[in-house]
């Protein structure tokens, strides 16, 4: 009887991560992989992936907020739902000891695993945030969590392909090299500068020793993660939709190839929120209106990496100090990339 019980427990332990992988693969195929496969052909044929999401003419802040929210959420709702599902499932289906051996390592290994695990996700910074929060609540290190979160938008293979066809392969090469340095470098720096007590003091959303049925524990994790992330996310998107007129000027020739505009675009990119790969048509449109190459590169590095909503969504998973530091380092990195471009 005891042999039967241990076999059953072992089988169930194996079944849980297999279920997580199945949900992740099916969800990502539906939301990301299949649509991006066809979108790559569109980018190759037309050298465009659509209009800039900032193209609205609305001048009234309320109208601008509502118009942007409609466009934005229509573009991301599938990925946002998938992100919350995966972020809750990782807490009840993935063994804690496995997470501790991979993403839980506080040194380079954890950051490297986080970077590698981010590549198939291809999510924007806000859709990746619930998954990162779930990983963090399940004993992932600060560095591993940040590498996964930043790697999703910055190292997205589909975005790099779109960028090559639309903006040129030199832009894609800069994004890849600088993005890799940002993901690993920022994750390691923030991990090192986060106090040990803050890095290790994580309250899980679900009790792993809870003997309630799996479905009840998962619904509990799903509900808690949803209320910890989504309401503030929606509010922040509405507020930024109202502020976009001031964040991104469209007057021809306004964004010139100067250090001032490099810094301004690096900061603006860290504040605003966009769907996956939306930085490409934004930069394409602004460059056609006269924006210089250097501020364009600064925007390409910071716009997808972080945003106010995504930082807010991680407020319960990472220390505030770590989130502020991450946003500051992303802005600094974008400014450095743009400043280097001014020299050539």
Residues 14-31 have pLDDT tens digits of 888 999 999 999 999 999
92: in domain: yes
Average of per-residue pLDDT values in the chain: 88
**DSSP E strand boundaries for 142-228:** none
The total number of structural domains in the chain stands at 1
151: in domain: yes
188: in domain: yes
8: in domain: no
4: in domain: no
Give the domain extent around 51.
15-342
HSE, CB side, 13 Å, CA atoms: give it for residue 155.
23
Q: What pLDDT, on the 0 to 100 scale, is given for residue 3?
A: 45
Assign 3-class secondary structure to 284-315.
Answer: HHHHHCCCCHHHHHHHHHHCCCCCHHHHHHCC
Q: What pLDDT, on the 0 to 100 scale, is given for residue 20?
A: 95
Rounded-to-integer distance, Cα 211 and Cα 39, Å: 45
In this structure, the number of other CB atoms found within 10 A of the CB of residue 22 comes to: 10
Contact criterion met (CB below 8 Å) for 340 and 272: no
Closest by alpha carbon to 89, among 259, 242, 254, 217? 217
Rounded-to-integer distance, Cα 295 and Cα 291, Å: 7
pLDDT beneath 70: ranges in the chain: 1-12, 56-59, 197-212, 245, 247-253
pLDDT tens figures, 131-163: 999 999 888 999 999 999 999 999 999 999 999
Q: What pLDDT, on the 0 to 100 scale, is given for residue 226?
A: 86
Rounded-to-integer distance, Cα 288 and Cα 265, Å: 16
105: in domain: yes
288: in domain: yes
Q: What pLDDT, on the 0 to 100 scale, is given for residue 97?
A: 87
User: What are the backbone dihedrals phi and psi of residue 202, each rounded to the nearest 5 degrees, phi first?
Assistant: -120, 125
317: in domain: yes
Q: What pLDDT, on the 0 to 100 scale, is given for residue 199?
A: 59
Rounded-to-integer distance, Cα 219 and Cα 74, Å: 25
Q: What pLDDT, on the 0 to 100 scale, is given for residue 118?
A: 97
């Amino acid at each position: 009887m005891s042999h039967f019980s241990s076999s059953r427990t072992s089988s169930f332990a194996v079944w849980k991560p297999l279920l997580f992988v199945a949900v992740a693969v099916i969800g990502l195929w539906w939301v990301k992989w299949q649509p991006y496969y066809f979108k790559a052909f569109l980018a190759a044929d037309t050298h465009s992936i659509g209009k800039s999401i900032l193209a609205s003419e609305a001048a009234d802040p309320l109208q601008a907020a509502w118009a942007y929210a409609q466009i934005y959420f229509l573009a991301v709702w599938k990925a946002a739902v998938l992100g919350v599902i995966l972020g809750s499932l990782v807490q009840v289906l993935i063994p804690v000891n496995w997470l501790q051996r991979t993403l839980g390592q506080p040194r380079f290994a954890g950051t490297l695993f986080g970077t590698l695990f981010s590549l198939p996700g291809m999510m924007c910074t806000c859709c990746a945030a619930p998954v990162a929060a779930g990983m963090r609540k399940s004993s992932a290190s600060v560095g591993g969590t940040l590498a996964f979160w930043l790697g999703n938008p910055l190292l997205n293979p589909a975005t790099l392909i779109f960028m090559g066809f639309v903006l040129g392969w030199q832009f894609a090469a800069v994004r890849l090299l600088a993005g890799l340095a940002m993901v690993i470098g920022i994750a390691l720096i923030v991990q090192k500068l986060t106090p040990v007590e803050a890095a290790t003091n994580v309250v899980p959303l679900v009790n792993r020793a809870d003997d309630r049925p799996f479905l009840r524990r998962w619904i509990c994790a799903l509900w808690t993660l949803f209320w910890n992330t989504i309401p503030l996310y929606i509010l922040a998107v509405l507020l930024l939709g109202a502020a976009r007129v001031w964040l991104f000027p469209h007057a021809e020739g306004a964004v010139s190839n100067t250090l001032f505009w490099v810094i301004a675009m690096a900061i603006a990119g860290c504040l605003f929120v966009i769907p996956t790969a939306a930085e490409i048509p934004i930069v394409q449109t602004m460059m056609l209106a006269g924006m210089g190459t250097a501020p364009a590169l600064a925007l390409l590095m910071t716009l997808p990496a972080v945003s106010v909503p995504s930082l807010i969504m991680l407020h319960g998973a990472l220390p505030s100090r770590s989130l502020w530091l991450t946003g500051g380092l992303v802005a600094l990195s974008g400014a450095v990339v743009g400043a280097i471009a001014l020299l050539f």
